[in-house]
């Protein structure tokens, strides 16, 4: 009898698409790292089928193989049979989560506290951010890093610390976008997702995004009622929480009795890919299904959008060699590969140096870098050596999680790379605009 019990279980039709040809194997970071079929996309699909057929129970070993999946979806790009692997893995986790099989009691408690208790609530996130800021401003973090104390206490703790964002700058508020305006009459209107962690961890990137959009004639807004997109919840199997968040965002961006966003701009690839799939997430919700579909269709990654509407090439020189790490959820989930590169190539003086396998995951993968820290670390180490081999001055990416992971990687493994934070692609574009036109290039006149 099938181990799956809920309506969210992976569909037989989706599962049957896999002809086990194996073309996905070498695209999978965990397969490359571990060299075993059990930790490959084909292997996990086989295990899903076995669960569906009741050939195997959801044992700790099966769980381990699923937990090790980064959900980077590189296998989807590799798959000629169009197996919707990401959707299948999410469905598997959703079903098992609802049967309380995903997490043990302690895990469930932590999940309730953090994922349901904090993430959906911008105020609570800000409060946590303030705490971290005090820790950083007090100099404690620097002291502990220099002393190597954390490393001696626990490798995981040290990695956690290495991953923690620098939150010393002012947090970004949705209303901040109003500081920017197009130089002339706007040629398009767009709403920005500000998200959960990014306002704390990457406020500058949000400013850069709003400025660059405005600079290119886009009137930017950001609904104040928006919340976390729910991607982390969906990846973890908590579809109920994910649906709840999706509904709130739909109400925020496409209000029933207000102005609907024409385009929903996201500069976090993980959020963007999840939001493009709101339609699937809420397919059984009669109230929201239709709007969720419309919502998904309006979501654009910022680079994708700028290329789509046509952006003006910046003229400020950035004389650096930069390598670009594709964000999995941009390149594999959203299939946006060329747009960020087009932005980078438009920058005078900037040399884009491709690394080996730029589209292979850096090991960040949302909560993965914390939950599977040792495997994530091994994947990151390989990635950093590919990055170092380019001899680029900087590595950039298109997702905050990736950027934090790369920053951690630079601190842990690369000696001769700029210790500054790794920039988002849009940060570089913005930097180039500013270099030519001054800091206020898109600022709304007071």
Partner 1 sequence: MSAPAVVRELEAALGADAVIWAPEDLLVYEYDATIDRGSPQAIAFPSSAEDVVAILGVARAHGLPVTPRGGGTGLSGGALAARGGVIIAMNRMRRILELDPGARTALVEPGVVNLDLGNEAARHGLAYAPDPSSQRACTIGGNIAENAGGPHTLALGTTTNHVLAVEFVDPTGEVHWLGGPTRDAPGYDLVGCVVGSEGTLGIVTKALVRLVPAPEAVKTFLGIYDSVRQASSAVGAIVKAGIVPAALEMIDRMTIAAVEPVLKAGFPLDADAILLVEVDGPALQVEAEGEIVEDVLRQYDPREIRTATEPKDREVLWAGRKGAISALGHIKPNYYLLDGVVPRTRLPEVLDTVYRVAAAYELPVANMFHAGDGNLHPCLLFDEREPGVTERVLEAGEEIMRACVDAGGAISGEHGIGLEKRSYLPWIFSEDDLGAMQQLRSAFGADDDFNPCKIFPGGHGCGEGHGGHQQKQIAKFGADVAI
Asked if residue 23 binds partner 1 (CB under 8 A), the reply is yes
Q: How far is the CB of 64 from partner 1 (least distance, A)?
A: 10
Task: Kindly tell me which of 77 and 164 has the beta carbon lying closer to partner 1.
Answer: 77
Q: How far is the CB of 20 from partner 1 (least distance, A)?
A: 5
Phi, psi dihedrals of residue 69, rounded to the nearest 5°: -70, 130
Among 20, 108, 169, 283, interactor with partner 1 by CB under 8 A: 20
Task: Kindly tell me which of 61 and 169 has the beta carbon lying closer to partner 1.
Answer: 61
Cα→Cα distances 45→24, 38, 88, Å: 11, 10, 8
Phi, psi dihedrals of residue 141, rounded to the nearest 5°: -60, -45
Task: Kindly tell me which of 62 and 275 has the beta carbon lying closer to partner 1.
Answer: 62
Among 3, 9, 47, 91, interactor with partner 1 by CB under 8 A: 47
**Please, what's the b/e burial string for 394-416 (b: 16 or more CB within 10 A of its CB; e: otherwise)?**
bbbbbbbbbbbbbbbbbeebbee
The candidate with the shortest Cα–Cα distance to 60, out of 98, 103, 92, is: 103
Q: How far is CA 441 from the centre of its chain?
A: 28
- Of the candidate spans 12-20, 183-191, 226-234, 295-303, the one that interacts with partner 1 by CB under 8 A turns out to be 12-20
Report the distance separating Cα 235 and Cα 4, nearest Å: 17
Task: Kindly tell me which of 42 and 424 has the beta carbon lying closer to partner 1.
Answer: 42
Largest CA distance in the chain: 67
Task: Kindly tell me which of 49 and 243 has the beta carbon lying closer to partner 1.
Answer: 49
Task: Kindly tell me which of 141 and 385 has the beta carbon lying closer to partner 1.
Answer: 385
- Of the candidate spans 41-49, 108-116, 246-254, 278-286, the one that interacts with partner 1 by CB under 8 A turns out to be 41-49
| 319 secondary structure, DSSP code | -
| Positions 280 through 339 that interact with partner 1 (CB under 8 A) | none
First to last CA, the chain: 67
Q: How far is the CB of 35 from partner 1 (least distance, A)?
A: 4
Residue 142 host element (H or E): helix 140-147
Q: How far is the CB of 228 from partner 1 (least distance, A)?
A: 34
| Positions 49 through 108 that interact with partner 1 (CB under 8 A) | 49-50, 53, 55-57, 59, 61-62, 65, 78-82
Report the distance separating Cα 361 and Cα 246, nearest Å: 26
Report the distance separating Cα 212 and Cα 294, nearest Å: 25
| Positions 337 through 376 that interact with partner 1 (CB under 8 A) | 356
Task: Kindly tell me which of 76 and 95 has the beta carbon lying closer to partner 1.
Answer: 76
| Positions 182 through 201 that interact with partner 1 (CB under 8 A) | none
Task: Kindly tell me which of 12 and 312 has the beta carbon lying closer to partner 1.
Answer: 12
Tally Cβ neighbours within 10 Å of residue 225: 12
Among 2, 5, 7, 36, interactor with partner 1 by CB under 8 A: 36
- Of the candidate spans 42-50, 148-156, 259-267, 294-302, the one that interacts with partner 1 by CB under 8 A turns out to be 42-50
SS (H, E, C) 46-87: HHHHHHHHCCCCCCHHHHHHHHCCCCCCHHHHHCCCCCCHHH
Report the distance separating Cα 148 and Cα 152, nearest Å: 7
Q: How far is the CB of 382 from partner 1 (least distance, A)?
A: 13
| 170 secondary structure, DSSP code | P
Task: Kindly tell me which of 69 and 254 has the beta carbon lying closer to partner 1.
Answer: 69
Interface positions with partner 1 (CB under 8 A): 12, 15-27, 35-38, 40, 42-43, 46-47, 49-50, 53, 55-57, 59, 61-62, 65, 78-82, 356
């Amino acid at each position: 009898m099938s181990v799956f019990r809920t309506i969210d279980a992976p569909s037989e039709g989706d599962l049957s698409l896999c002809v086990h040809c194996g073309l996905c194997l070498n695209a999978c970071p965990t397969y490359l790292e571990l060299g075993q079929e059990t930790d490959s996309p084909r292997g996990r699909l086989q295990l899903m089928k076995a669960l569906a057929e009741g050939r195997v129970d959801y044992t700790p070993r099966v769980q381990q193989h699923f937990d090790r999946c980064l959900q980077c979806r590189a296998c989807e790009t590799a798959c000629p049979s169009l197996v919707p692997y990401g959707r299948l893995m999410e469905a598997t986790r959703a079903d098992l989560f609802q049967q309380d099989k995903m997490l043990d009691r302690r895990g469930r408690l932590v999940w309730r506290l953090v994922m349901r208790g904090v993430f959906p609530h911008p105020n609570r996130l800000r409060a946590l951010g303030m705490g971290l800021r005090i820790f950083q401003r007090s100099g404690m973090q620097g002291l502990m890093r220099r002393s190597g104390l954390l490393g001696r206490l626990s490798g995981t703790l040290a990695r956690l610390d290495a991953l923690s964002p620098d939150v010393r700058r002012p947090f970004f508020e949705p209303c901040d976008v109003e500081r920017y305006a197009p130089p002339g009459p706007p040629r398009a209107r767009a709403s920005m997702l500000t998200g959960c962690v990014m306002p704390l961890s990457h406020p500058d990137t949000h400013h850069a995004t709003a400025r660059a959009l405005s600079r290119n004639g886009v009137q930017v807004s950001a609904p104040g009622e928006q919340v976390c997109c729910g991607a982390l919840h969906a990846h973890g199997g908590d579809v109920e929480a994910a649906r709840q968040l999706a509904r709130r965002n739909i109400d925020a961006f496409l209000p029933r009795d207000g102005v609907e966003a024409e385009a929903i701009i996201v500069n976090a690839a993980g959020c963007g890919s999840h939001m493009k799939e709101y339609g699937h997430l809420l397919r059984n919700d009669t109230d929201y299904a239709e709007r969720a579909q419309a919502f998904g269709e309006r979501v654009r990654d910022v680079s994708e959008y700028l290329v789509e509407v046509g952006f003006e090439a910046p003229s400020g020189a950035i004389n650096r060699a930069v390598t670009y790490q594709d964000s999995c959820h941009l390149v594999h989930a959203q299939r946006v590969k060329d747009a960020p590169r087009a932005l980078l190539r438009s920058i005078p003086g900037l040399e884009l140096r491709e690394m080996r396998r730029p589209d292979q995951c850096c090991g960040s993968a949302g909560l993965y870098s914390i939950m599977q820290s040792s495997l994530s670390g091994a994947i990151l180490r390989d990635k950093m050596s590919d990055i170092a081999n380019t001899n680029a001055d900087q590595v950039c990416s298109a997702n905050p999680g990736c950027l934090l992971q790369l920053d951690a990687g630079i601190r842990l493994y690369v000696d001769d790379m700029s210790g500054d934070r790794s920039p988002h692609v849009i940060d570089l574009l913005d930097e180039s605009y500013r270099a030519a036109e001054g800091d206020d290039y898109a600022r709304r006149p007071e």
